[in-house]
């Protein structure tokens, strides 16, 4: 039972390069989320998708774009990577309204921007 799968697990980029982080869930969940986790800080929401076909900004959306490709997949794109985007990125999903449901997290993508 895979749950939430993120690819790649590690990535090193140069400043200005672009890349897409992939996330897929096999639990038939409606809602999906992208977070970043930095040392000494709590997880911060970048973007979320309450349901297929919708996306909304979270707390720290600048420099990122997202695509809810279908119910299973939610991708995060960095158009022009900056060193400040060096972080661990987590994708999560939940069955329905986040206030009532636990989130299931992937194991993260560790991204370094040089």
Partner 1 sequence: KNQVEQSPQSLIILEGKNCTLQCNYTVSPFSNLRWYKQDTGRGPVSLTIMTFSENTKSNGRYTATLDADTKQSSLHITASQLSDSASYICVVSARWYGGSQGNLIFGKGTKLSVKP
Q: Which residues sit at the interface with partner 1, rule CB under 8 A?
A: 4, 31, 40-45, 48, 50-51, 56, 90, 92, 96-100, 102-108
Are the beta carbons of 96 and 37 closer than 8 angstroms? no
Nearer to partner 1, 74 or 108 (CB): 108
Question: Minimum Å distance from CB 90 to partner 1?
Answer: 5
Ranges assigned E (strand) in 1-114: 4-7, 10-13, 19-25, 31-37, 44-49, 56-57, 64-68, 74-78, 87-94, 104-105, 109-113
Nearer to partner 1, 19 or 98 (CB): 98
Question: Minimum Å distance from CB 109 to partner 1?
Answer: 11
Question: Minimum Å distance from CB 2 to partner 1?
Answer: 13
Nearer to partner 1, 80 or 97 (CB): 97
Token pair for 109? 């993508």
């Amino acid at each position: 039972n895979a749950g939430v799968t993120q690819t790649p697990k590690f990535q090193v980029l140069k400043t200005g390069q672009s890349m897409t982080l992939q996330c897929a869930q096999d639990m038939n969940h409606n809602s999906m989320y992208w977070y970043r986790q930095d040392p000494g800080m709590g997880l911060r929401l970048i973007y979320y998708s309450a349901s297929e076909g919708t996306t909304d900004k979270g707390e720290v959306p600048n420099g990122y774009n997202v695509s809810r490709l279908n119910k299973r997949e939610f991708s995060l794109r960095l158009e022009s990577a900056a060193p400040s985007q060096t972080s661990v990125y987590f994708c999560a999903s939940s069955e329905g309204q986040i206030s009532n449901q636990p989130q299931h997290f992937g194991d993260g993508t560790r991204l370094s921007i040089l």
